[in-house]
């Protein structure tokens, strides 16, 4: 049962009960008006969505397309296109349906498409028609007479796969995804093409992917579902008590009032009267869970989503990408993240690949050495290789090792074969709009980098057709026949091509992951494999992405037999993939090793700082990558995930389940030996048999540890017997890196943590292989990078750079969580205080279901009088600003522990509401009891009491929201004072003589406002009520802040002083002793605030001073230091100013030949020396 579904149904039930005269205790409008307003707002929102959807659908369905009908092209609407139609598309046209490409204007019937609407990738892809259909060209007569039969798979949502066959003139031809144009694509750089409609309308792959996504709910939503049930139970209890009281009163006292208070018609006993009063009080007390709660929550979430969309600090100008909240229901969950699961390539790194190094025939290339043979670091002054001899070279490509060019020029056979492989084994498409100006359209940045490297070293990939690849080798054009492409996938982790050279040689070229290709090598390559492995380890140690390349010369007879079986497998409708996989395994054996490539993928800006900041917020980061172990670990050190200060970094690489189990247990034993004792809480918990999923509490290790686990070991660890050991060991580590993992394993790791830990998870990635992980986590974040938009389209939030994640969580997430918690606490408080006054009044009104307040006040209380102030607080409040939120990540921790709103906090709100309702009833009751006005007239009547009680209530809840507000804005002030003003304006208007004369039955409180609120004793009673309601709250908040302050309480105590000056000014006197006495002394300033220790490096404060500068009075730094007149030649004092907007991090600074004696002098004692 969900809160947003339960509340409207409940209020609808109450509305229906109002139609029953025997139990109706309120006028219809008290419930109908709020219900109609809520339903109207929801209806308008849904109607706008439906209208926009209908408008969009109508626009798409009415797009024109040319359909071949009776030998002529006729314009038809998209909605009228059917399976079997042949349609014509022109350049920049949207593809109407899923089409089998028949022919096009380009040579060999190639067609260029853009798939941005499908996967977000803007690079062009190429599709090619079968040769037998390419002959049709644009001859309408031949196309009309085309009589083939297509058999294919049923409609599905797999964008990258298609299985079918075309039977034409008795011959059967294999159909795959390379011959399909899918709906959602756009034709580019192609004058025209013809296609046969295979799937249309809802059967297209685009529409099949438009299925419902799993609806994610926040932990607060799940808690609210429980609390709503508790409130319903509490409501039933109150109604039962009052109903029993009514039965007892009617039985004991009611008899004496029968003359002027007769029982209603049909009521013949006290017990039956009590039964009816139960339902009457259900109607009266229904405001304890008002329907406006649902609307307010939606408005708050929508507003906080807009803040993310509008945040300029999360806008990436280089590709014009703002941050985007793709859902409005998960904002507060961003403030409770405990685990982050991150992809590496394109998420932590830029995914802009550059060919950096390589190993060819056992020799490593890419490093630069000086005359003495020492390796030197490459920088912008290092001499680049001159590629001017190659007119087709890419001028942007940079390489520094001249020996590789020399090997190419000397026509070294292994080197030539190496680059020939790189220029042939790929799926890149070339574009040459101008002579010699080549642009490569690569489906992955890795392929583009390798083909570009081959191009610059003299093996230029020039053109591609369905049957040929044209290469310019050292200035000589050669055309290779392309006989087969053995595709790459996540299981094979390699791709191969089989080509025939102009000389007639048959060769298979293969590239892929070293772990895979090493198993396929010929035994004669063992020595070369050892040398290449050393180079691979060096490359991976530098954080480079590596691939191994190999080749194989094929026998003609064997190949002819193999290609025949390949054709049979490729035209099979059932088991095609398995049969092809077996054939690929068969021919990719006994390969000859050529070498390896190393590609650099640089870190994104700000990644190390972001990870360090998130770690301080007690967020654990797990990196899930497909890269090899050495590369992943090196990136881990570069990102500040791993560091040398860790006690240990465990590497789990067992090749059997027992090995993996032992390695995990050994790691856990070192981190927490006590976890193996029988008395351990978790061991006891899991020894008890229970079908209910068991959560593992957080365990503290005896130090800081990291864990690295490989893909094959992870496969064993995710099995049922080992998963508990994995999650216990991994969750004790500060950092976990999983390498060589598949997309499915990424999702399994996330699901494992969700299963055993009571924590909110976030997954972030940029590619299609991250989609399953993003959908599995509580929060999915997509990065719009180089791998298209599939991750973004599946995500809940998106932006362009990983560094924006810290602002999303520490600022927007934290604010959203705090605002929602404050809203719920205040909302429940004000409604308990409002509703329970009816409960106490029942004991003084014969339990007769008489209301305390005027019915119009009941109607307008939640809709008008108290709605805007709480929305103002929930949309604008912030305990500290964004700068301090980022500077002190520890402020994020309470959200992870769910401290600001939980069952205990709810009970406190409930008790405060009960206490306030007692004050709000008994103070006005006592003040009105037997009271007369100054002129002697009595005011101790029901209407005056009702007005006084509701006035006290509204002022008290307004004061309470003022106490709850941490950040005052003009909007907050306007909403609070405006709501009070509106209340008094409406009250005096509704209780006026004119309203009574016009609507006598609806406004019976004639003159009550002016008669009651003009009495000083009434206002004194109101002031007393406010004081008694607010004083305990103020006292509790003060004592709590002093005795048990939260991190934000500590910050708030310091922040006002800091914010007044807009910067933190620390005055220090630095005295330098004799330079001869001190050399190379390590100097660090430690600043201890009341709750946090900052270690500020001198490098962020000082410029390096020379001895001559020590003796003069001058400015030593343009921004942070002012040097005053020295007290003496040997002791020149400095007065420093430090701006907190500069980064604070732990490091040290060596001030050579000087030592400093530092004295802090400030008028506030929040810093200690």
Question: What is the chain's length?
Answer: 1169
Strand order in the sheet with 192-199: 72-77, 64-69, 86-90, 192-199, 98-104, 180-181
Distance of alpha carbon 1026 from alpha carbon 1034, whole angstroms = 12
What letter does residue 212 receive in the DSSP assignment?
A: P
> Sign of torsion, CA 42 45 48 52?
negative
Tokens read off for 438: 């080549």
714 contacts: CB under 8 Å, gap ≥ 6: 652, 738, 741, 745, 749
What letter does residue 261 receive in the DSSP assignment?
A: S
State the chain's maximal CA–CA distance in angstroms: 122
**Is position 505 annotated as part of the catalytic site?**
no
Residues 185, 189, 194, 199, Cα dihedral to 10°: -10
Q: Is 908 exposed, middle or buried (0-12, 13-18, 19+ CB in 10 A)?
A: middle
CB 415 within 8 A of CB 477: no
Tokens read off for 97: 């349906």
Residue in 177, 255, 325 with CA at minimum distance from that of residue 797: 325
Residue in 903, 761, 895 with CA at minimum distance from that of residue 818: 895
Distance of alpha carbon 340 from alpha carbon 750, whole angstroms = 9
Neighbours of 339 (CB within 10 A): 24
CB 124 within 8 A of CB 440: no
What letter does residue 155 receive in the DSSP assignment?
A: P
* Phi, psi of 652, deg, nearest 5: -100, 110
Distance of alpha carbon 1003 from alpha carbon 782, whole angstroms = 57
Residue in 1041, 1038, 1018, 1019 with CA at minimum distance from that of residue 1030: 1038
Work out the angle between the directed axes of helices 629-638 and 526-541 (0-180°, nearest 10): 20
CB 654 within 8 A of CB 716: yes
Strands 620-624 and 735-739 come out as: parallel
Strands 705-710 and 648-652 come out as: parallel
Distance of alpha carbon 537 from alpha carbon 526, whole angstroms = 16
Q: Helix H segments across 991-1015? A: 993-998, 1008-1012
1046 contacts: CB under 8 Å, gap ≥ 6: 894, 899
CB 22 within 8 A of CB 264: yes
Rounded to an integer, what is the distance from CA 967 to the centroid of its chain?
27
Distances (CA, A) of 955 to 834, 926, 959: 12, 19, 6
Work out the angle between the directed axes of helices 903-928 and 1016-1043 (0-180°, nearest 10): 160
Neighbours of 440 (CB within 10 A): 18
Work out the angle between the directed axes of helices 576-587 and 556-570 (0-180°, nearest 10): 170
What letter does residue 810 receive in the DSSP assignment?
A: I
Tokens read off for 1029: 């309601």
Distance of alpha carbon 279 from alpha carbon 243, whole angstroms = 9
1076 contacts: CB under 8 Å, gap ≥ 6: none
Active-site residue (options: 343, 401, 601, 877): 343
What letter does residue 336 receive in the DSSP assignment?
A: G
- Any idea which residues carry the catalytic annotation? 343
């Amino acid at each position: 049962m969900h809160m947003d579904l339960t509340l409207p149904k409940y209020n609808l039930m109450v509305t229906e009960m109002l139609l029953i005269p025997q139990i109706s205790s309120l006028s219809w409008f008290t419930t109908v008006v709020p219900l109609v307003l809520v339903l109207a707002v929801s209806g308008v929102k849904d109607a706008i969505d439906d209208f926009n959807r209908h408008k969009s659908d109508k626009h798409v369905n009415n797009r024109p397309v040319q359909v071949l009908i009776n030998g002529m092209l006729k314009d038809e609407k998209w909605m009228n296109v059917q399976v079997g139609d042949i349609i014509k598309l022109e350049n920049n046209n949207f593809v109407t349906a899923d089409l089998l490409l028949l022919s096009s204007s380009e040579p060999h019937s190639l067609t260029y498409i853009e798939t941005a609407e499908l996967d977000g990738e803007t690079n062009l892809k190429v599709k090619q028609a079968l040769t037998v259909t390419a002959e049709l060209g644009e001859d309408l007569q031949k196309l009309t007479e085309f009589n083939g039969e297509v058999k294919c798979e049923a409609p599905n949502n797999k964008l990258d796969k298609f299985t079918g066959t075309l039977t034409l003139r008795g011959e059967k031809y294999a159909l795959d995804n390379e011959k399909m144009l899918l709906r959602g694509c756009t034709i580019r750089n192609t004058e025209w093409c013809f296609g046969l409609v295979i799937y249309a309308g809802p059967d297209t792959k685009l529409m099949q992917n438009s299925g419902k996504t799993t609806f994610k709910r926040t932990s607060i939503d799940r808690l609210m579902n429980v609390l709503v049930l508790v409130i319903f139970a509490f409501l039933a209890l109150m109604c039962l008590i009052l109903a029993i009281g009514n039965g007892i009163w009617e039985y004991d006292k009611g008899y004496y009032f029968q003359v002027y208070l007769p029982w209603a018609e049909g009521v013949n006993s006290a017990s039956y009267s009590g039964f009816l009063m139960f339902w009457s009080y259900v109607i009266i007390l229904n405001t304890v869970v008002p329907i406006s709660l649902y609307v307010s929550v939606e408005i708050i979430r929508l507003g906080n989503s807009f803040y993310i969309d509008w945040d300029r600090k999360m806008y990436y100008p280089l590709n014009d990408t703002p941050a985007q909240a793709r859902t409005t229901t998960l904002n507060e969950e961003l403030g409770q993240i405990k685990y982050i699961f991150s992809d590496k390539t394109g998420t932590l790194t830029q995914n802009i690949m550059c060919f950096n190094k390589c190993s060819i025939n056992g020799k490593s290339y890419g490093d630069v050495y000086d005359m003495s043979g020492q390796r030197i670091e490459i920088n912008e002054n290092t001499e680049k290789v001159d590629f001017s001899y190659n007119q087709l070279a890419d001028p942007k490509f940079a390489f520094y090792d001249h020996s590789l060019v020399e090997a190419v020029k000397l026509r070294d056979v292994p080197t030539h074969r190496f680059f020939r492989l790189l220029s042939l084994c790929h799926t890149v498409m070339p574009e040459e709009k101008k002579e010699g100006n080549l642009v490569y359209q690569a489906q992955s940045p890795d392929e583009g980098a390798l083909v570009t490297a081959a191009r610059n070293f003299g093996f230029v990939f020039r053109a591609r057709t369905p049957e040929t690849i044209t290469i310019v080798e050292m200035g000589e054009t050669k055309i290779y026949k392309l006989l087969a492409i053995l595709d790459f996938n996540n299981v094979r982790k390699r791709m191969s091509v089989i080509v025939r050279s102009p000389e007639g040689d048959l060769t298979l070229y293969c590239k892929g992951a070293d772990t895979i290709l090493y198993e396929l090598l010929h035994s004669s390559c063992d020595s070369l494999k050892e040398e290449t492995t050393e180079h691979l380890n060096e490359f991976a140690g530098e954080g480079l992405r590596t691939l191994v390349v190999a080749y194989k010369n094929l026998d003609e007879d064997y190949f002819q037999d193999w290609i025949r079986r390949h054709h049979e497998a490729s035209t099979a409708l059932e088991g095609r993939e398995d049969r092809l996989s077996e054939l690929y395994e068969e021919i990719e054996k006994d390969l000859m090793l050529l070498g390896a490539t190393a590609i650099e993928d640089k870190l994104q800006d700000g990644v190390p700082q972001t990870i360090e900041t998130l770690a301080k917020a007690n967020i654990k980061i797990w990196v899930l990558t497909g890269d090899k172990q050495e590369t992943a670990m090196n990136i881990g050190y570069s990102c500040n995930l791993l560091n040398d200060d860790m006690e240990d970094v465990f590497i789990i690489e067992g090749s059997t389940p027992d090995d993996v189990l032992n390695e995990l247990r050994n790691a856990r034993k070192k981190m927490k030996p006590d976890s193996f004792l029988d008395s351990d809480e978790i061991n006891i918990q899991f020894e008890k048999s229970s079908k209910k999923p068991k959560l593992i509490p957080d365990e503290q290790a005896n130090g800081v540890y990291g864990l690295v686990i490989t893909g094959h070991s992870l496969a064993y660890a995710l099995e049922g017997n080992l998963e508990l050991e994995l999650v216990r060991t991994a969750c004790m580590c500060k950092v976990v890196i999983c390498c060589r993992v598949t997309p499915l394993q990424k999702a399994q790791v996330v699901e494992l943590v969700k299963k055993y830990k009571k924590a909110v998870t976030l997954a972030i990635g940029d590619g299609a292989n991250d989609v399953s992980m993003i959908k599995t986590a509580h929060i999915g974040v997509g990065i719009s990078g180089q791998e298209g938009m599939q991750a973004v389209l599946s995500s809940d939030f998106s932006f362009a750079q990983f560094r924006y994640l810290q602002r999303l969580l520490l600022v927007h997430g934290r604010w959203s969580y705090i605002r929602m918690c404050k809203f719920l606490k205040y909302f429940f408080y004000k409604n308990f205080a409002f509703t329970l006054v009816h409960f106490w009044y029942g004991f003084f009104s014969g339990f007769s279901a008489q209301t305390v307040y005027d019915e119009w006040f009941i109607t307008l209380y939640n809709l008008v009088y108290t709605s805007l102030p709480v929305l103002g607080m929930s949309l604008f409040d912030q305990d500290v600003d964004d700068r301090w939120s980022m500077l002190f990540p520890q402020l994020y921790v309470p959200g992870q522990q769910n401290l600001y709103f939980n069952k205990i906090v709810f009970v406190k709100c409930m008790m405060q509401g009960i206490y306030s309702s007692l004050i709000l009833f008994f103070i006005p009751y006592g003040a009105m009891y037997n009271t007369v006005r100054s002129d002697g007239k009595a005011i101790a009547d029901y209407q005056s009491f009702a007005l006084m009680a509701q006035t006290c209530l509204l002022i008290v809840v307004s004061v309470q929201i003022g106490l709850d507000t941490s950040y005052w804005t003009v909007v907050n002030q306007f909403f609070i004072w405006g709501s009070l003003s509106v209340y008094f304006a409406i009250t005096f208007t509704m209780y006026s003589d004119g309203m009574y004369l016009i609507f006598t039955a609806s406004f019976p409180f004639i003159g009550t406002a002016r008669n009651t609120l003009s009495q000083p004793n009434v206002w004194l009673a109101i002031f007393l009520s406010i004081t008694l309601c607010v004083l305990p709250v103020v006292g509790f908040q003060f004592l709590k802040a002093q005795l048990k302050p939260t991190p934000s309480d500590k910050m708030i105590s310091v922040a006002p002083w800091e914010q007044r000056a807009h910067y933190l000014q620390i005055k220090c006197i630095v005295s330098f002793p004799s330079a001869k006495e001190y050399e190379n002394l390590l100097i660090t300033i430690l600043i201890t605030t009341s709750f946090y220790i900052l270690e500020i490096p001198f490098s962020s404060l000082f410029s390096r001073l020379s001895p001559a500068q020590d003796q003069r009075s001058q400015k030593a730094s343009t921004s942070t230091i002012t040097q005053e007149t020295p007290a003496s030649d040997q002791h020149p004092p400095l007065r420093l100013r430090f701006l907190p907007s500069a980064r604070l991090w732990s490091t040290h600074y060596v001030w050579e030949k000087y030592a400093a004696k530092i004295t802090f002098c400030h008028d506030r004692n929040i810093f200690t020396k």
